[in-house]
Structures are given as structure tokens and as C-alpha cells.
Structure 1
Amino acid sequence: MSGSTAPALSGKGLGAGYGGREVFSQFDFALPQGEVLCLVGHNGAGKSTLLKALFGLHPVSAGEIRLRGQLLKPRPEAMAREGVAYVPEGRGVFPGLVVREIFQLALWSAKLDGAEAEKRTEEVLEVLPRIREFWTRRAGTLSGGQQQMVSVGRALLSRPSILLLDEPSIGLAPKTFQDLMAPIRALQQRLGMSILLVEQNVGEAFAVSDRVAVMKSGRMIFEGVPDDLSDHAKLMDMF
């Protein structure tokens, strides 16, 4: 990343918490433009809270957030308009709807219809073609991996330039996680997307990441490239 390029998404001096309990304070963060940054850390380190704060789903008590260098107060609808998509932990698909209806609902909410809606749908089905196999099934009958594909596919319908992924590997076998992330990595490299990937499954996640950051108890304790942490023992020592 050149020094003149503003990060895709950044925070300076951020503070956030729940019910008076601080999760992080004076926290600085930057997602480089056009890269996949994998954020790892123990449960409760503050990773998911950071994602929610960056997308405007959780308020910050201090600090500033910038989108491509521009100061803003995040709100989900505004972030979505600005090309930011967020895939929450736990998939969040509507179990009673068939997959086609979930996509239609996402397109309607993004005010996309007609030929453009069809084009967007086709784009996503080219990236994640396995979705075609369960296109007319209710989401509640799908496996965890299939639901995760639907959740990510729904986010991609908006053609995001920034994608926030919160623990997409939860409940997935390593092979299923690879099937999900490999095409997303290929799309990211082709379009120059910026992706913040929060993960516990470090081996699989590092394989699709450009940079790695380690968070512990609300602090960033390491930033580097995946090869820096190829020694698993070194990574474990940080926790």
C-alpha cells in the first residue's frame, strides 16, 4: 500500500463497551485498500465489537472512524450505500424463506430491480455457483456451509468495495470454509476489494489473507503478514 493511499476503513482512538464495561479504548485500526486483513484473537478480545462499531451497529464512546480517508459517523444504511457490506457471525438467514426469496429481499432493500437485479444475481451465482444447487430450498433446511454461502452471497449482491466478515468458518469443516473463501479471494483480487476477516480458524484464514492483526483484551498486539505467524507456537504465545 502506498503511503499516499488512505485506508479503506480506519479508526483512531476508538472506545466501545457494553453496560459500562469497556471492551477497548484508545484503539487504532486500519484496513488497507485492496487487501484482505485477518483479525484474530481470543473470545472477548473485542473483534466482533470492532466490526459492529465500524459498520454502525454499535456506538463508539470515543474516537473517529474514517471511510477512504473521510470522517463519518457510521450507520448501517449509510455504510451500505457507500459500498460496505457486513456478514455477521451466525449467518442470519431467514429460515422460512427459500434462497431465491432471500436474494430478492436483499435486492429490494438495495432498491435494485428488473434487469439490474437479474445481472447482480447472476454475478453472485458465478462467484458461488453451488448456491444454484439449493436455490429453491428453504434456508432453514440447509447445512451450515450452505447457509454461510447464502449469507455471503446476499452481501455480494450490492457489489461491495469493502466486506466485513465475522467468523464465517464457525461450524464449518475446513474444506467447506475453503470452498467459501477461495472464490471470494479470487473476486477480491480481481476487483481490488478490501476485506476485514475476523477468524478463529487461523490456518485456513491466513491462506486467503494479505495481512494479519492480533487483538488481545481490547488492544492490538501484533500486525504483520501471515508468514510472520507460520510458527503456530509463536501465535499461541500471544493469547
Structure 2
Amino acid sequence: MSDAVLSVRDLVVGYGGRPVLNNIDLSLNANEVLCLIGHNGAGKSTLLKSLFGLVAPESGAILLNGEAVTPDPRGMTANGLSLVPEGRGVFPGMTVAETMKLGMWAAGVPEAERADRVDWVMSVLPVMKQFYDRRAGNLSGGQQQMVSIGRALLSKPRCLLMDEPSIGLAPKLFQDLLGPIRELQQSTGMSILLVEQNVREALKVSDRVVVMKSGEMTWEGLPSDLDDNSKLMELY
């Protein structure tokens, strides 16, 4: 698609000779939240890791703005991608401030811009100010997830990959997290690929949805197409 920010063509990925993704075709468009759903073990997290360069594909192509790339985390970050990993990935012994400092170093944010960059993230997620000097290991699950999202935003990505951000969170906390991200996406034109098990809440902030089953894409449509629970169960 001509307006695709990130896309894959015939992507095959496996572990130890065992295929996990089979000939995946997918496009994430500009100014879009694309929700990827599917059963546990379908290959959703593997796809995100491949897109960010954490898992190498066996074959196929990954394209960024229409150009084929060989992803690696530093290179993809430099090109406007950022990943919110499954399980949050925060260091429990570090304060939030230290986590942000490390995140800016990893993302290559120039030192002269770092204070402004933190201020910008805090404007998106103002609740972080309340626990900015606390150690991540002493935070609640929702607070840790906010730190993980804030760290991913430090590079001001044009494309955000989010892997199961609702894990361990009550629905209200998940809504409180996704609301500001949806507002940011709509105001900046950011593209988001959201992998999520909390389907109903995720569909509320999505523009399009795709379903993965056993390493293959099996359905694509609009969130409104899945208002009927029986249709959703059929796809799973």
C-alpha cells in the first residue's frame, strides 16, 4: 500500500528450525492504530520482535516507508520506530529518572535535548511526575507499564509497536494508559501496531484490526465488524 509506514511481505520466522510465522503480509499505514489479535502462541510477539530487529527472519522482506530494511534495534529506533515490550522490561533497582536517562542514551537523544524530551514525555503521561524519583521495583504494575511506554516515547517515534500492554492491569488502568497514547497518535499522526489480548478495550482505540492464527494472517477488517462476540469467537 502506498501509504504504508511499515510493512512485511512473505515473512517467515522460526526458532531452531521450527516455523512460527508463515508467509506473513501486513501493512501499518500512516496515522493509524492497527490492532493485531489472536490466541496465545499465534506468533504476534514474534512478529513485533522481527519488526524491531530482535529476531531475524528466515525469508521475506520488511519495508520501512517502502524501502527494504534489515532491522536492528538501534537502527530502527533511529528510523522512527520504538517498541513497548511484553512484560514491561524495566529494571527494578533503577529509579524512573535513571530509566529515562538510560532510555535517552540508548535512543541517541542529543544531550542538549534531553531535558526537553523528558518534559515532553511528562506532558503526554503527566502521572509519571508523581513517582519519577522512585525505584521501578517499588511501583505498581500500571506505573511500571507507564514507565515502559514513556521510555519508548523518548525517541519521539513515528511508529510505536506495543506488545500486550494490558498484561496484569485492571481494565480501568488499561484505559487510563491507552487514552493519552491515542490522543498523542491522533495529534501527531503517529502509527501504532498494538498487539493485545484485551480485545474489547483495544478495539475502542483502533482504526483497523487483523487476526493471526497459528502463524498466519487469517482476517482483516474494522473494529465495528467485531461487535458481535460470535464473530470474534469464530475468528479465534
TM-score (norm 2): 0.98
Q: Which residue of 1 aligns with 2:24?
A: 27
Q: Which residue of 1 aligns with 2:136?
A: 139
Q: Which residue of 1 aligns with 2:57?
A: 60
Tell me if the contact between 2:76 and 2:82 (Cα under 8 Å) persists in the aligned partners.
yes
C-alpha deviation, 1:110, in angstroms: 2.6
Q: Which residue of 1 aligns with 2:6?
A: 9
Aligned partner letter, 1:180: L
**CA offsets 1:186-233 (integer angstroms, 9 cap, x no match):** 000000000000000001100110000010011111111100001112
C-alpha deviation, 1:34, in angstroms: 1.2
Q: Which residue of 2 aligns with 1:219?
A: 216
C-alpha deviation, 1:109, in angstroms: 2.2
Count the aligned residue pairs: 236
C-alpha separation in 2, matches of 1:24 and 1:4: 24
Q: Which residue of 2 aligns with 1:72?
A: 69
C-alpha separation in 1, matches of 2:41 and 2:85: 16
C-alpha separation in 1, matches of 2:61 and 2:216: 17
Aligned partner letter, 2:224: D
Aligned partner letter, 1:104: K
**CA offsets 1:81-103 (integer angstroms, 9 cap, x no match):** 00100111000001001101100
C-alpha deviation, 1:108, in angstroms: 2.1
1:116 counterpart SS class = helix
2:75 counterpart of 1:92: no
**CA offsets 1:130-170 (integer angstroms, 9 cap, x no match):** 10111111000101100000000001010000000000000
Aligned partner letter, 2:158: S
Q: Which residue of 2 aligns with 1:50?
A: 47
C-alpha separation in 2, matches of 1:185 and 1:115: 28
Q: Which residue of 2 aligns with 1:188?
A: 185
Q: Which residue of 1 aligns with 2:167?
A: 170
RMSD: 1.0
1:8 counterpart SS class = strand
C-alpha separation in 2, matches of 1:124 and 1:220: 34
2:99 counterpart of 1:102: yes
Aligned partner letter, 2:183: A
C-alpha separation in 1, matches of 2:71 and 2:110: 26
Q: Which residue of 1 aligns with 2:149?
A: 152
C-alpha separation in 2, matches of 1:23 and 1:38: 19
Q: Which residue of 2 aligns with 1:236?
A: 233
C-alpha deviation, 1:115, in angstroms: 4.3
2:55 counterpart SS class = coil
C-alpha deviation, 1:175, in angstroms: 0.6
Task: Find 1:205's aligned residue among 192, 202, 210.
Answer: 202
C-alpha separation in 2, matches of 1:98 and 1:198: 27
Tell me if the contact between 2:74 and 2:107 (Cα under 8 Å) persists in the aligned partners.
no
Q: Return 5+ residue gaps in structure 1 as ranges.
A: none
TM-score (norm 1): 0.96
1:184 counterpart SS class = helix
